[in-house]
Chain A
Amino acid sequence: MPSTRDIRRRIKSVKNTAQITKAMQLVAAAKMKKAQDQASNGRAYAEMLNKVLVNLKEQAEEGAHPFFSEGKGTKTLILLIASDKGLCGALNTNLFKKLITTQFEGDAEYVTIGKKSVQAINRLRRALLADFPIKDPAHFAEVRAVGRFIQEKFCTGDYKKVFVVFNNFINTVTVVPTVEQLLPVNPVTLGGKRDFAPEIETATATTEYTFEPSAAVVFETVLPQYVNNTIYQMVLESRASEHSSRMVAMKNATDNAKQMIKDLSLEYNKLRQASITNELLEITTAKMALE
């Protein structure tokens, strides 16, 4: 049976914890709002660019651009996007689980964004090619460096395909660890909304295009842009997921701490009451003995 002093001490410590998690929850909530807006605003552009290119891929002659066909090599290049910091629930764990359970052709080599992903790749003893630190909020210029690296690697021809493993943001409580094929160009789904997708497919399914000035020039300007932008959008989705998960995790922690304080207070009060009753009892007994 703990003494009242022990319980008082525990209540105090839990209160402190609750205060910290509450503060973290508020910070995460503020960041979440921004990250979610950024992610959802960019989605329309990224998806439409993807749709247009997938359509063009069908029309373009074989080998119109290296990004439209698989590389000659057998290796697979994987870009892993995770968070820099922890305390965001099972977000990273789920992502790595997804990575481990997914089968890739040939040897896989990794490029990472975020400290947690570097740690994971090292722990799994997989081949790490490069790690790119990206600040929060993410800037396009930083992501462009990642895009350039991946494009250079793919152009060497050693890699058959390039995949991205990231957390796809659906809404605040739903985050889906996702594996998407980045190169060669392939339909990519981002976020939860796909409202404009079918319309595009029907409109251009059977059409042939004139390229102005030529297909090569158009692809040469658009495809690098596409790769960079898609990676950027995926980073934004991951960031939105990270902040949402952290907010939810911290909210749960705060709620649990509050419940614990309630339980402990009840126990404390019971104990206090018990000791008062005991004392009264003793006094009464003593008085009765004197009479």
Chain B
Amino acid sequence: MPLKLEIVTPEARIFSDEVDTVVLPGYEGEMGVLPAHSNLVTTLLPGELRITKAGKTTEMAVGEGLVEVTGTVTRILTDAAVDADKIDEKAVEEALERAQKSLAELKPGEQQEEIAAVMAMIQRSTAQLHIKRKRKTV
């Protein structure tokens, strides 16, 4: 029985295909999903997502979001998902720098929402850089 994986972000539907297994960064650590997994809902943390299909593994950097797993379908709703090959290291570094700068400018206590947004941006960028650098050393 195949496992259908769908990854959707506010900008676009990133991924929709049948896969063998997917490993994702869940709330309580990395979680592997195989076909016929029991029904589960969890939150997604910024990090690395690995998709295996026919022995080939693809890596993706994802942001915060929601994961819904049923026996046949895994749905991932996240604010960002980027294919590891497509990560632009320089652009991400710049984004990270910008985010840290604006975090320093924001006063604590005020604008909680904005701080949360910037923090999410930092986590996302860090996760992307992490994946990119890991791949280089291999």
Say yes or no for A3: interface residue by CB 8 A criterion. Answer: no
- Knowing A41-B12, A211-B42, say if A141 contacts B117 (CB, 8 Å): yes
Please, what's the 1-or-0 string for B77-94, where 1 marks a CB less than 8 Å from any CB in chain A?
A: 100000000000000000
**B8 and A48 contacting across the interface, CB-CB below 8 Å:** yes
Q: Which of A17-69 contact B (CB under 8 A)?
A: 41-42, 44-46, 48-49, 52, 56
**B66 and A212 contacting across the interface, CB-CB below 8 Å:** no
Please, what's the 1-or-0 string for B36-47, where 1 marks a CB less than 8 Å from any CB in chain A?
A: 001111110000
Please, what's the 1-or-0 string for B104-131, where 1 marks a CB less than 8 Å from any CB in chain A?
A: 0000000001100100000000000000
Q: Give the chain B neighbours of A141 by CB distance below 8 A.
A: 113-114, 117
- Tell me the bound Cα distance from A291 to B36 in angstroms: 113
- Tell me the bound Cα distance from A7 to B120 in angstroms: 65
**B38 and A44 contacting across the interface, CB-CB below 8 Å:** no
Q: Which of A184-217 contact B (CB under 8 A)?
A: 203-204, 207-213, 215, 217
B134 → chain A closest CB, angstroms: 26
A196 → chain B closest CB, angstroms: 9
Say yes or no for A90: interface residue by CB 8 A criterion. Answer: no
- Tell me the bound Cα distance from A221 to B40 in angstroms: 16
Q: Give the chain A neighbours of B114 by CB distance below 8 A.
A: 141
**B75 and A207 contacting across the interface, CB-CB below 8 Å:** no
Say yes or no for B55: interface residue by CB 8 A criterion. Answer: no
**A209 and B41 contacting across the interface, CB-CB below 8 Å:** yes
Determine chain A's interface SS by DSSP, over half rule: helix
Q: Give the chain A neighbours of B10 by CB distance below 8 A.
A: 41-42, 45-46, 229, 232
**A48 and B77 contacting across the interface, CB-CB below 8 Å:** yes
Q: Which of B1-47 contact A (CB under 8 A)?
A: 6, 8-13, 26-28, 38-43
**B41 and A210 contacting across the interface, CB-CB below 8 Å:** yes
- Knowing A44-B13, A218-B66, say if A213 contacts B27 (CB, 8 Å): yes
Say yes or no for A222: interface residue by CB 8 A criterion. Answer: yes
**A204 and B70 contacting across the interface, CB-CB below 8 Å:** yes
**B40 and A45 contacting across the interface, CB-CB below 8 Å:** no
**A209 and B12 contacting across the interface, CB-CB below 8 Å:** no
**A52 and B70 contacting across the interface, CB-CB below 8 Å:** no
- Tell me the bound Cα distance from A215 to B27 in angstroms: 12
**Contact pick for A209, options B6, B26, B40, B64, CB 8 Å:** B40
- Name 24 interchain pairs, CB-CB below 8 A, sorted by A: A41-B10, A41-B12, A46-B10, A52-B77, A203-B70, A203-B73, A204-B68, A204-B70, A207-B70, A209-B39, A209-B40, A209-B41, A210-B39, A210-B41, A212-B26, A212-B28, A212-B41, A212-B42, A217-B27, A218-B42, A218-B66, A221-B64, A222-B66, A232-B10
Top 10 closest pairs, chain A to chain B, by CB: A212-B42, A207-B39, A209-B39, A45-B10, A44-B13, A45-B8, A210-B40, A209-B41, A42-B10, A52-B68
